[in-house]
Structure 1
């Protein structure tokens, strides 16, 4: 019943194709009524929950298909391929994209760790090293917290007064859920790799030195390389290249000139950008620009 109520709220408030602001900071509703193949995107820390239809994401060659039985958890910025290959007018996809505020998630993760340390029956468990993204079951805590959050859409005053508290409740449900250990690793104290990824994402056009990244993380180059690959499945230089190319592909699909898109993500040589883009996607940037007709704001 709760999932049906969530679907009804999204359907009533997401009248157009693509993303729609919910009125709650960091919460976007979306609908898709046409099939979209997987295309390059960058997911900043977020969860993506589907209540009707199914969605697909590909990260470093691994395919994730999810629907109303599992949601996607992405606690660090990641270059992925995402699409809605099964969406159609008679089988629309409805879902919600919720940004994860690192400050709030970190505070909750630390509070939970302190409670676990003080309790003879720990409420948190240690997971194996996190890798990129993960799917998690819709449990009752997550479902009920999401419904309570989206119910605020009915009243602007409720959103203003209760929005942060309901969002915090949902964050807590995520940290307690199936992907909780995975998310706590990303947001917990001392996760230098997550901080490195956040710095990279916010300064993508700046020159990148793996030695400098390792130094800021307080690690040797070899240790940083090993830990980075444990977390993301990619070597640091491969990750940087994927982030830059995915960001550039999104900008080009949005109408930005190829040369500007290349410069925006840190490429100084247009020819090098074109070579790496074609090697990565099998098309030149100009061919990509001509082929992409994405609905605005596809998640």
Structure 2
């Protein structure tokens, strides 16, 4: 299987658990050799491909378990929980994290539409538009292997990386989740634009009325369409984005007050209440536990 070839290819470049930079645009490798429970995270637009072991993501109670039979598509920024509960020294997890560049995805989507027949399959689509799983097909596997083969040759990487990233994006758009991924990057997707605005402005006041206005929708229509796309109401989504982002910062060693301020909280007591309600621990307890 090509996944096994990919693991054999990337393993020499990974020297510790966690993410490893590759020098290829938007591409990181990762490894986990111990079981980690699902904890708060914020995924930026990305595809996560597992070549050994399995990984989990939980969105609003819905669990996505994926391995080398399916890869995870997350075309919008999203607050969720993620972990590697089955990883171990005997059965390590290896994978590839691919950031999705909105400009390139938009260009490819438009070119596919202009070609007259996008050729995107819609069978076996994901449960939600905000996140979903896609089958490892031959096109995706081959494109990913071709991209990662550049790791061993700096000249090849300098000349070919952009072309092969584009080839991989095209394989994603042609895959099982292609339609929902393409819709998420479409210029007409007001919900995706709203999510991008929230993600980029967590430290500023965010009004649901303002978000609805930016989407050119009434508050009621915006609420319904937003929940259809993300499984959360706009208010829930904004709060989850802020708290998950703060939890990640605290786990990285940020002072609690700074983490709260960075994500838009002006009241330390309100932040502490919301945090404990969401995670069952105070921010300081979380800091000590992580």
**Structure 2: distance between partners of 1:137 and 1:105:** 19
- The runs of 5 or more residues in structure 2 that have no matched partner are none
User: Is the contact made by 2:3 and 2:141 (CA closer than 8 Å) also made in structure 1?
Assistant: yes
Q: CA deviation at 1:130?
A: 4.5
Q: Which residue of 2 aligns with 1:123?
A: 119
C-alpha contact 2:48 2:98 (8 A) present in aligned 1: yes
1:195 aligns to 2:154 (yes or no): no
Which residue in 1 is equivalent to 2:155?
157
Structure 1 residues 73-107: Cα deviation after superposition (integer angstroms, max 9, x where no partner): 00000001000111111111100000000110011
Deviation at 1:131, TM superposition (A): 2.8
Say if 2:2 is the partner of 1:6.
no
User: Does structure 2 retain, via aligned residues, the 8 Å contact 1:59–1:132?
Assistant: no
Structure 2 residue aligned with 1:31: 31
Shift of 1:124: 3.1
Q: Which residue number in structure 2 is paired with residue 57 of structure 1?
A: 57
1:1-299 → structure 2 map (5 Å cutoff): 1-115=1-115, 118-119=116-117, 123-124=119-120, 130-292=128-290
Contact 2:41 2:81 in 1 (8 A): yes
For the residues of structure 2 that align with 1:283 and 1:154, how far apart are their CA atoms? 45
Equivalent residues of 1:130, 1:231 under 8 A apart: yes
Q: Tell me the CA shift for residue 9 of structure 1.
A: 1.6
Aligned partners of 1:240, 1:77: CA distance in 2, in Å?
11
Cα distance in 1 for residues equivalent to 2:77 and 2:232:
13
Rounded Cα–Cα distance in structure 2 between residues aligned with 1:158 and 1:239: 42
Contact 2:120 2:176 in 1 (8 A): no
User: What's 1:295 paired with?
Assistant: none
Contact 1:71–1:138 at 8 Å: present in 2 too? Answer: yes
- TM-score w.r.t. length of structure 2: 0.97
TM-score (normalizing by structure 1): 0.94
Tell me, yes or no, if the aligned pair for 2:10 and 2:29 is still in contact at 8 Å.
yes
Separation of aligned partners in 2, 1:46 and 1:279:
29
CA contact (8 A) 2:121 2:175 kept: no
Q: Given that residues 128 and 231 in structure 2 are in contact (C-alpha distance below 8 angstroms), is that contact kept between their aligned partners in structure 1?
A: no
User: Shift in Å at residue 109 of structure 1?
Assistant: 1.1
The 3-state SS of whatever aligns with 1:25 is coil
For the 8 Å contact 2:74–2:131, the answer to whether it is kept is yes
Alignment CA distance shift 1:87-1:130 (3 Å): closer
Please list the CA deviations of residues 167-212 of structure 1 after superposition, one character each: whole Å capped at 9, or x if unmatched.
Answer: 0000000000011011011011200110111111111111001111
Which structure is richer in relative contact order (CA contacts within 8 A, separation 6 or more)? 1
- CA–CA distance in 2 between the matches of 1:125 and 1:20? 33
